Structure 1
């Protein structure tokens, strides 16, 4: 574990660019890790925690403000911050536009090394969370569920919620990581997962000679914001 930990020290994460459409998406040679979740679940705070910076990813008290795919260079990997979903106070056309953006992003699944799906630890997973997990399963995209805002719960309550959420999502508790951007709780566990992902991706890319798998037809419905 110590040997892995030495490889994942983040020293100088930087913002790269924002993409509003498929033609602007980055296709980096480095492993690409995506972060997604419900609006206001704490994606920006999660990214800032990993980067050891307070303002790398801009936080907002207004849900649904992030409407672009924002890319950050963490040295060993590229992180893509995806638009949040599930915010009701936007037009149907806007929701459909963002859904189209997400579908286009995930269509190039061979370039996606891993997805961190963020869920608020204080609440039950939403229908949109369930849909996203179903989508990732269907497309065979590796992911980990990250529970945010763990500092808002007592240790006992957090343990209960982890078990309950794992059951709701049909996952084992080992597939959930509880975190707190406020205290840094769970950060090391996330970084260890990232180290595993980057090593696996680099090993696979070095040996890969086969063509890409056929893309499937399942799409994300217009529920993002």
Structure 2
């Protein structure tokens, strides 16, 4: 299970507790450092490879923390190419029907971005280090926001840092603070769940060549344990 999958489980469970809704559709932004470069011609390319794509997450019938992790993990792993090709489909093709269908995902209200572990990017003995000071505004205050709420996270200095930024014209600070506190509570519950588990839990995406769903996999693993 990946860090992003656990963070998004906490986000979904806390969103459900905050709003009473069991599902959420958000923009997922990836840092782009996992793009399969060997398959891409970069000779005429400048810039970075951050990717942005829509993602629908649903708790479905999940109640426990473990069930929620499984649901979120499996839904995320169904996304083709980790979302890296969504921009190509959305903006670089001529099928009018497809373009019209995808337009409804252009203005989703929430964006989540896990920037990764900065401790692994910058060497401790290097000339550069992560600054503790605020970098200030990323955009002109008069500019329109891409999302009403941005949830940005990273691991720096051995600590997970999560920031909720939002439109003050739409949301009150106390309301967003409630969601942020619930997110922290759910994340602590997930950490406790993972630390207290005595055995690993496998899901169908861990054996993606087997063509087994979770139900069939559970039955198979149950039989193997009895032997």
Query: Which is higher, the Rg of structure 1 or of structure 2?
Result: 2
Higher relative contact order (CA closer than 8 Å, sequence separation 6+): 1
How high is the TM-score relative to the length of structure 2? 0.29
How high is the TM-score relative to the length of structure 1? 0.29
